[in-house]
Structure 1
């Protein structure tokens, strides 16, 4: 039975229209996965020796154990945002004489072999081999490795239980930030305490059995939850949901743009694909925390532009690159309405502009890393408003792929085409190149001024640029209607 399921999965994947249309994107994803696997493999092999060289007075295994709490919580957060729930096209199978428990077991077993579970093994297994070669007790290392594997699988099934729970996600964020603050302000040695716990597992390998019990409990809870949902009547019955009518009266101040903006706000809040994308705003806002604390980037001021463009333009990039594909489900109906297309596009521009300004204001604390950072962020904000908003809107005239708003954004390439990849060049690389060139030839201050001036020029010619973009949209209107009617 399992072999039949695997054959069906294989055929479904490679015969899908999405695979045929996105071979190039699938190749890029494979290369992306290989890059991460090789990186983890390199760290797993060389990590022991790097830690031994950097911290000669400390045990490398204990150092790794000390940061496992952050690694595990960070993994759960990453899974919550990126990992898809285990799915299988089970509706046709429910009319056949196939036990439902076998279907559920296959779905859960399939999830155990996901990329998220395999990636960590490329670090833990090589690191364990190096430990044994360096004279660590073999049974202790094997017990430690077994614990790591069981924790990875437990995180997999725990994620499926808490994935739709925003309170659980908030709790994970709180644990991660709380742990960081405890370590940063040296309130107590949290990392050392966690390290001692995992060191105890190394010294007493039998304790890995407890994590096996945890995995069994989580698997059973997932099985019970899915088993109760695998019924044909539950899949084909119409579900009636009560819509939550939010008070969007504040948008009325924007005049005739208000109906479009209200529609977009409801679209963002009520649908999985758009709601998942909003979490990217938090990631973009904190993007600079990965760069600015690193001494290596202190003199690479052109990297400030990358952080500034991305942190102030996270919503602009994630939301804007799929205009008007967000409305693809009802685009034909929308185009039959009596309104000016210019105002429709102006509403998108207004939302992106407001988001850029708001993210800049929220990012003002980056001045902690120096006034140059804040100056570049300000110039990046102006550049995003004057240039990148228009680039994004113009790129939207080439969007031809429908988007299903009921699917999550994580690793979802639906609606993604060559436009989304090529548009990154003018969005990111062009301002970085201009800034780096002027900074090298003249000075930092002039480079900031040039970047901001380009943005102000775009703002000054906004109406003329929008008129040209609107004309392009109107020219392609019927081509888009036909394309959005096609199924991926």
Structure 2
């Protein structure tokens, strides 16, 4: 009975809140996006099933070879996009309700997440394409495998994200583990397809193995239960690692660079200490690994225009996703920025050098792509120069149009507060301009000259950065009161 009461309270809190009507439009839009994604998965799944039925002598066995990839993709998808289940615990702590019931109630919320529909719908569409090669027994075993595996993956991703709040190195450990696994598989050191086929064909032949999936789900649920039960105070998840916080204090040598260094240090502290910016920071390694999705396919290595796009994303992806919201990150204390005894140019230059630094680090780490050919390294180098010499300045200029408040205490996944359609539109010129520069050279079979022009434009941007920063500073001065007024409207 108490669970129904708690559920009723949750529904009333969601429908009666002041923000419910404000976010209705965004919810309708996200519902439309979810519906389109649902239809695409149905179509894609049916296409995969039909192709397997046509080209494979044993489509069920071939399908099982990709089972581990499927669940790994779900894990990454849930980790990046699914919100952690939350519950306003404080009002119930003074009531005669067991702590275990509150924790169990919180842990049942992921079972009703709309994302749960997508993996099952995709697999059902595949089985529909294979309906002539599949009997009822195989169908129900596959459905049972997907449901139990998805339950385990769902609660495993939630556990990892909760532990990450306290120990942020967990994210890098998780990402490194996934990357290492795919790397070893890509170069034939291990064979995930063979292992996947062995595991899931055993389940097909002996459905009792599904009990192992249920056991894994129970273990993941128990880990989440123990974590929440032992850290029931929400403050426990907000402290983070004290060593990590204190490590920022070791960056005080940035003060040697004057006010620019001070501003840069404050920007770094903001990135690490706030949930939304920290989520963005965690995405940086993904941009570094972006090339692995394409460089392994020989057909992409012959498409210079596409390689430019990839190169821009590798060294500039984090810069773009973070830089488009410059000034809005400080919306909570923007008035203090305007009234402080500092020059606006120092304030803007700190952001510029921060973008340059992060892009440089990512570019240096990405030099291992020379393994795919010296041309890849040349393209990535020219794109890096263009990013720090041109795109970084364009980002600062575009960011002066930001006037929507952003709450940094909330994560980025499915959080569109402070985000407008213009932010996505502004990404287009940053990625398209280099392609248009290269296009005439590519048409006349002068690819290297086209790459050189892109790099030269980046160098020119670096040489004339002071003058260009003056223009951006003047633009900021003209727009600062409009920005301040917009940031006050929460």
CA RMSD of aligned residues (A): 3.1
In 1, Cα distance between equivalents of 2:171 and 2:389: 36
Q: 1:224 to 1:5 in 2, by over 3 A?
A: farther
Aligned equivalent of 1:19: 23
The alignment status of 1:314 with 2:317, answered yes or no, reads yes
The alignment status of 1:326 with 2:326, answered yes or no, reads no
Aligned equivalent of 2:257: 254
In 2, Cα distance between equivalents of 1:176 and 1:293: 17
In 1, Cα distance between equivalents of 2:365 and 2:230: 44
Aligned equivalent of 1:378: 381
Aligned equivalent of 1:286: 289
Query: 1:394 offset after TM fit, Å?
Result: 1.1
Could you tell which deviates more after superposition, 235-244 or 294-303? 235-244
The alignment status of 1:50 with 2:51, answered yes or no, reads yes
Query: 1:415 offset after TM fit, Å?
Result: 2.1
In 2, Cα distance between equivalents of 1:446 and 1:264: 38
Q: 1:430 to 1:174 in 2, by over 3 A?
A: closer
The alignment status of 1:143 with 2:146, answered yes or no, reads no
The alignment status of 1:193 with 2:195, answered yes or no, reads yes
Q: 1:289 to 1:474 in 2, by over 3 A?
A: same
Q: 1:281 to 1:8 in 2, by over 3 A?
A: same
The alignment status of 1:339 with 2:342, answered yes or no, reads yes
Could you tell which deviates more after superposition, 270-279 or 188-197? 188-197
Aligned equivalent of 2:299: 296
Query: 1:342 offset after TM fit, Å?
Result: 0.3
In 1, Cα distance between equivalents of 2:258 and 2:238: 35
Aligned equivalent of 1:397: 400
**Preserved contact between residue 70 and residue 176 of structure 1 (Cα < 8 Å):** no
In 2, Cα distance between equivalents of 1:369 and 1:350: 30
Could you tell which deviates more after superposition, 160-169 or 78-87? 160-169
**Preserved contact between residue 306 and residue 432 of structure 1 (Cα < 8 Å):** yes
Paired residue secondary structure (2:405): coil
**Preserved contact between residue 305 and residue 438 of structure 2 (Cα < 8 Å):** yes
**Preserved contact between residue 80 and residue 169 of structure 1 (Cα < 8 Å):** no
Query: 1:226 offset after TM fit, Å?
Result: 4.1
Q: 1:13 to 1:364 in 2, by over 3 A?
A: farther
Aligned equivalent of 1:466: 469
Query: 1:371 offset after TM fit, Å?
Result: 3.2
The alignment status of 1:214 with 2:211, answered yes or no, reads no
**Preserved contact between residue 320 and residue 427 of structure 2 (Cα < 8 Å):** no
Aligned equivalent of 1:431: 434
Q: 1:237 to 1:250 in 2, by over 3 A?
A: closer
**Preserved contact between residue 332 and residue 481 of structure 1 (Cα < 8 Å):** yes
Query: 1:295 offset after TM fit, Å?
Result: 3.4
The alignment status of 1:416 with 2:419, answered yes or no, reads yes
In 2, Cα distance between equivalents of 1:366 and 1:236: 43
Aligned equivalent of 1:86: 85
**Preserved contact between residue 150 and residue 211 of structure 1 (Cα < 8 Å):** yes
- CA offsets 1:110-152 (integer angstroms, 9 cap, x no match): 3223243222112112223444x22434223312211211111
Aligned equivalent of 1:4: 8
Query: 1:445 offset after TM fit, Å?
Result: 2.2
Counterparts of residues 173-188 of structure 1 (less than 5 Å): 173-187=175-189
**Preserved contact between residue 402 and residue 483 of structure 1 (Cα < 8 Å):** yes
Aligned equivalent of 1:34: 35
Structure 2's unaligned 5+ residue stretches are none
Q: 2:267 aligns with which of 264, 273, 292?
A: 264
**Normalised TM-score (structure 1):** 0.87
Q: 1:45 to 1:152 in 2, by over 3 A?
A: same
**Normalised TM-score (structure 2):** 0.86
In 2, Cα distance between equivalents of 1:408 and 1:93: 25
In 2, Cα distance between equivalents of 1:68 and 1:237: 37
Query: 1:441 offset after TM fit, Å?
Result: 4.6
Counterparts of residues 65-104 of structure 1 (less than 5 Å): 65-89=64-88, 91=90, 104=103
**Preserved contact between residue 62 and residue 196 of structure 1 (Cα < 8 Å):** no
Structure 1's unaligned 5+ residue stretches are none
